[in-house]
Amino acid sequence: MRKAFKYRLYPTKPQVKDLERTLELCRELYNAALQERRDAYKKAGKSVGLYQQKRYLPQIREELPQYKRVHSQVLQDVLHRVDKAFQGFFQRLKAKKGKAGYPRFKGKGRYDSFTFPQAYETGVKLQEGERRVLLHGIGSVKVKLHRPLEGKIKTATVKREGEHWYIIFITEVDPKPLPPSEGAIGIDLGTNPHFLVTSEGEMVEAPRYFQKAQAKLATAQRSLARKKRGSNRRRQARRRVARLHRKIANQRKDFHHKLARRLVNRYGTIVHEDLNILALSRSYVAKGIHDAGWAQFLQILAYKAEEAGRRVVGVDPKHTSQDCPVCGHREKRPLWVRVYTCPQCSTLLHRDVAAAQNILARAWTGPSGVAIPCPRSPGL
C-alpha cells in the first residue's frame, strides 16, 4: 500500500526564489496547455490529448532556456494535471449533477506545488543522515524528518503553504496489521457539544477550533479589509489571516489523527453513518459541520483502519436517532431532547448513545433482516 509522509523544508532565501521561479514556470505551462486545448476545440472543433502536448516539451525547453532548469518529468506532471482536470470536467458533464466546472486558469500565486513523479530517478535524494534533501534545479535543502521515512519512495511533491515549504513523499510500504480484535463499535458523529458518541457510551467533546478562533479571525479580517489593494501592509494582513486559518486546520487534523488512531487500536470493526456530508455542508448546520471536519476524519479513519487490518463500515443513517435500540419503537423527537424514556419498553436512553447502538446494529443485520441487539451502555 502507499503512504504519504509530509516534512517541513527550510530553504535559504536564494532557494526560496528558485522554488518560486519553478512554481511560476509550472503555472505558465499549465495555463498554456489549458489555452491550447481550449483554442483547438473552439476554433477547429478538435481535441488535443495529453501525449500530443507532451511531444512539444523538448521544443519548449529548447526555445525557452528557463525551462531547462526544471526537470522534464516535473513538466510532464504539469500536463498530467491539465489532463486530469479535463477528465474530471467530462465526468461531471456526463453525470449531469450540478455545474460541470470547466477547468480554469491558475492566477499568480495560485499554483502551489510541483511533483517529481519518479523521485529517485528525477534528482530527489536524502543527504547527510536524512537532514537535507537534494532537489533538481534547487539544490540541497534542509529538511526536518520529525518521523522516520518508511518504505520505497515513489513520488515527491514540493508544496508551498503560506510562508512555509513542505515536501511530501509517497512511499510503497508493507501493511502492518494489528493483532486481531473482536471488538466492534458504533459511532454517531455530531457537532456540538460532542464530536463523537460511541455505542458504549463514551462521549468525545467537540474541540470547535474555528469557533474558538472566531474573534481573532474577525479582527484580522477587518484589518485586511481596511488595507489598500496592492500594498505591502495588505499583503502582510493577508498572511496573518492565512496563518490563523492554517493553525485551525492543523489543530483539527491533529485531533482527527489522534482520535482515529485510538479507535483503530481498540476495535476490530468501526461502524459509522454513511452521511451525505456534501449536502449537509450546504444546509443550516454547515458552519458546525465544516468546523467538525467529518469528511476528513472519516477519510483518516478509513486509511488507518486499512493499514491496521481493521474494518470500517458505513450504514444507512435513516431513523438512527428515532429508533429505540432495545425494542425498535420509532418516535420522532425534537433535537433539544437529549435523554428520554422509551414509551414502549420504558428504557432510559441518551439520544446519541441510542443512535450509535442502532448504527452498530445495522452493520450486523442478518439475512432475516433482524438486527442483533447491541450491549447497552452502562448507566442507561
Would the pLDDT of 298 be above 70? yes
Question: Which three cell numbers mark 72?
Answer: 522534464
Residue labelled with grid coordinates 534528482: 123
Closest CA to 257 of 305, 220, 224: 305
Closest CA to 303 of 38, 35, 1: 1
What's residue 257's pLDDT?
A: 95
- Calculate what percentage of the chain has a pLDDT beyond 70: 96
Active-site residue list: 188, 273, 352
DSSP 163-232: TEEEEEEEEE----PPPP---EEEEEE-SSSEEEEETTS-EEEP--HHHHHHHHHHHHHHHHHHSPTT-H
* C-alpha span between 261 and 319 (Å, rounded): 29
DSSP 4-21: EEEEEEE--HHHHHHHHH
Model confidence band, residue 256 (pLDDT cutoffs 50, 70, 90): very high
Would the pLDDT of 364 be above 80? no
* Angle at 271 (CA atoms; ends 269, 276), nearest 5 degrees: 145
What's residue 302's pLDDT?
A: 93
Provide the 8-state DSSP code for 150: -
Closest CA to 82 of 115, 28, 33: 33
Average pLDDT, the chain: 89
Q: Note the pLDDT tens digit of each residue in 315-361.
A: 988 888 888 888 888 888 887 888 888 888 888 888 889 889 989 98
Query: Mean pLDDT, to the nearest integer, of 355-377?
Result: 61
Q: Note the pLDDT tens digit of each residue in 123-153.
A: 788 888 889 999 998 999 999 999 999 888 9
Model confidence band, residue 275 (pLDDT cutoffs 50, 70, 90): confident
Model confidence band, residue 228 (pLDDT cutoffs 50, 70, 90): very high
Contact 4, 153 (CB under 8 A): no
Query: Mean pLDDT, to the nearest integer, of 288-295?
Result: 92
What's residue 123's pLDDT?
A: 74
What's residue 227's pLDDT?
A: 94
What's residue 267's pLDDT?
A: 92
Model confidence band, residue 154 (pLDDT cutoffs 50, 70, 90): very high
Q: Note the pLDDT tens digit of each residue in 67-119.
A: 999 999 999 999 999 999 999 999 999 988 778 889 999 998 889 999 999 87
What's residue 215's pLDDT?
A: 95
